[in-house]
Structure 1
């Protein structure tokens, strides 16, 4: 029986686990919804010894800037296929240019994430670099309804994004195909401005879009300001070629329309 051990059963990993279970995989996992305590070294090592595949969705520790999974369990991870959910933030600001898996990393604001990405690559892992994730309960629709949506006056600013279900299908494709290790960008086919996404969500909901604001007027958090400091388009061709993957929601319009109807 195929057995998947998951470090960090969060928003995306829960959905990966559900699809894997539907394919008769056995799942062990850490996290609040998991069955293994991350701090119980013996229990984790025992589960890892039984695992045929290992997935980590645990981000770097903000205080130590290191990867907690590799810090504690690097040796126990040896000898089995490894999968890691990373971020396209590793590519840094590209002034709107396209990046792919061959583009340099480690030049952006998220140095800890870049270091963790590189560490998992050195472990010969399958590293999935993810842009902004949206899906049920976590999209522009909720931000508009909650009064938290913003339109920022930054001409030329674009982002890539991905529906959570398309992350799931990409990871599952790699799991079941014995895909070659390395980096894979999983994003939709249509990088676009945050304003375009907000405006489309407003049209779906039948409400007026929020006014255009400068960054200063928007009074954004430090994390959100950092998000707007980078501008890039993320290419997904490698995942299509190597994994045979195609995003079900190739644009934000398809993704948001499906979420509204769900």
Structure 2
């Protein structure tokens, strides 16, 4: 089997590297040609430059030689670029599994309530609205072309090199407090497990929440990271006065608790890191924090 990835970023690269033995050839895209060359040298993957200003001429041929397609690149202001440019090529290909990485942000604010995949998507931010539109477009392609498209709604991603311990060590952590606020998280290795399980059990039109078991206040996770590493704990900062980017601040405008039973029941997934405690402990044990 050959894998093609639109947007070989942190999550997709982890999946492709972990599951490398599954694929005869791995091809992927990033937006810059220089970065594509660097990743190719590091991984042995066949990399292409693809973005608003770039479009490698080999991609159409690549797609004709692809069995599994993963879309990790976010949509742009005018929609999903990969689908806009390569819809016909994908529809005509032999591709037998398509995975679209989305976000639990499409559910919008739920006031802290528990929700599952049956909850209607009511995205609040422009980014999440774009994600929902892209989900619908890829699912539509699947129905029309007879290809199994699966949507994976991811919660806050963390893992090696991208986690609260790393931020504490770099002095970039903030212990922001907003009363009643909780977030779900998911370790990047558990995402890879879910994708691999879906390849084994494809179901066209499926939507899965890919998230941990325990939505938790963000400051609690930072406190635990400091406790198990002995790193200095940053002072509490009230959300209203915190120095946050507009994107970071928007995350706090949504509050929900997301259930993950479907990946367990349908795909047979057992999370290696069901809560932040196991996830952070694993990072410390592997000296990857």
In structure 2, the partner of 1:156 is: 180
Alignment of 1:16-165 (within 5 A): 16-31=15-30, 32=36, 33=39, 34-38=46-50, 39-40=54-55, 42-61=57-76, 64-78=77-91, 80=95, 81-109=97-125, 110-124=128-142, 125-165=149-189
Q: Per-residue deviation at 1:162? A: 0.2
Q: After the TM superposition, which of the residue ranges 23-32 and 181-190 deviates more from structure 2?
A: 23-32
Q: Distance in 2 between matches of 1:56 and 1:24?
A: 16
| Contiguous gaps of at least 5 residues in structure 1 | none
Q: Per-residue deviation at 1:208? A: 4.0
Q: Distance in 2 between matches of 1:257 and 1:86?
A: 27
Secondary structure of 1:155's partner? coil
C-alpha contact 1:121 1:183 (8 A) present in aligned 2: no
The alignment covers a number of residue pairs equal to 259
Secondary structure of 1:219's partner? coil
| Contiguous gaps of at least 5 residues in structure 2 | 31-35, 40-45, 143-148
C-alpha contact 1:37 1:44 (8 A) present in aligned 2: no
C-alpha contact 2:105 2:123 (8 A) present in aligned 1: no
Structure 1 position 231 matched with structure 2 position 247: no
Q: Distance in 2 between matches of 1:24 and 1:72?
A: 25
Q: After the TM superposition, which of the residue ranges 228-237 and 33-42 deviates more from structure 2?
A: 33-42
C-alpha distance after superposition, 1:94-137 (max 9, x if no partner): 01111211111143212212211222222332111001000000
Q: 1:168 to 1:7 in 2, by over 3 A?
A: same
C-alpha contact 2:150 2:202 (8 A) present in aligned 1: no
In structure 2, the partner of 1:198 is: 222
Q: Per-residue deviation at 1:65? A: 4.5
C-alpha contact 2:169 2:231 (8 A) present in aligned 1: no
Query: TM-score normalised to the size of structure 2?
Result: 0.85
Q: Per-residue deviation at 1:180? A: 4.2
In structure 1, the partner of 2:145 is: none
